[in-house]
Structures are given as C-alpha cells and as structure tokens.
Amino acid sequence: MSSAPLVVVAAVIEQQDCFLITKRAAGDHLAGCWEFPGGKLESGESLTDALRREMREELDVEIEIGEQIDYVEHAYPNRIVCLHFYRCQLKGKPRPMLNQQIRWVKRHELATLEFPLADKALIVRLKKVGTEVP
C-alpha cells in the first residue's frame, strides 16, 4: 500500500432531485464504478482549485463551489484515499471530455448503482427523500 494518502475532491451537483455522476474508465482504479465528478489534488493546489480544474478537464464546465458536505478517509487494499465532497452548482452544460459516461440520476437510484466504497455513507444520506445534506 502506498504510504501517502491520496487526496481527492468531488462535486455533488443536484438539479431537480437528480445528481450528476460519471463512470470511471476502464484501466482506472475502481474502473466501472459510478462516482461524483472530481479527481486528485495536485501539488500546490487548494481543494477548491483542484475541483475547478478537474471539472474543466473532465466535463468542460465551470462550477460554483459551496460548502464541504462530507469528508471520508477510506483504506482500499492498495491505497488510502482522503475524499472531500463539496456541494456545487454548474455554470454551463457538462460534456464528457475523456470519453467517460455521464448521467443524471434520481435520488432513489443512487443506491442501485455501483459506487466506490468510500462513497457509501454519503450515498446513504443522499438517497433519503427530502433529506437535505448538511
């Protein structure tokens, strides 16, 4: 296992009771899993700068970043991931720049899709109808 944790940021974007998710590409860690869009923090970046960069690179879209709604530290067999989830709003229409699948899913559909284990607690909170994520 790598000794240094991998710091990751993710955008939780909700519109009309649907969440924007992307599918991890073949060959990536956790390939085939759905996830909230985002990615790895690069050296010298703040969490919010990394999230803005990742959204431009992956989905060609600018975002407005709100509050951090969750933080998870999860140990996978080959790495430790520190995952920061932020509530975000889109400033434009997302389009896949890396040939990844993107889709909008209803709140109740979240639990039916395969997400990384690190996302599990947030998915449980988000799938509750009418529950606002703090």
Q: Domains of the chain by range and CATH? A: 6-127 (3.90.79.10)
Cα–Cα distance measured from residue 120 to residue 48, given in angstroms and rounded to the nearest whole number: 22
Query: What pLDDT is recorded for position 29?
Result: 66
Residue 28 pLDDT exceeds 90: no
Mean pLDDT along residues 49-65? 97
Cα–Cα distance measured from residue 56 to residue 62, given in angstroms and rounded to the nearest whole number: 6
Residue 131 pLDDT exceeds 50: no
Mean pLDDT along residues 9-25? 93
Query: What pLDDT is recorded for position 127?
Result: 79
Write down the mean pLDDT value for the chain.
Answer: 90
Q: Which residue has the higher pLDDT, 12 or 79?
A: 12
Mean pLDDT along residues 26-37? 80
Other C-beta atoms closer than 10 Å to the C-beta of 31 total 10
Continuous segment of H or E residues that includes residue 72: strand 62-75
Q: Which residue has the higher pLDDT, 45 or 77?
A: 45
Mean pLDDT along residues 8-19? 95
DSSP state of 110: G
Q: Which amino acid is at 94?
A: P
Query: What pLDDT is recorded for position 32?
Result: 81
Query: What pLDDT is recorded for position 134?
Result: 45
Q: Which of 22-26, 70-74, 124-128 has the highest average model confidence (pLDDT)?
A: 70-74
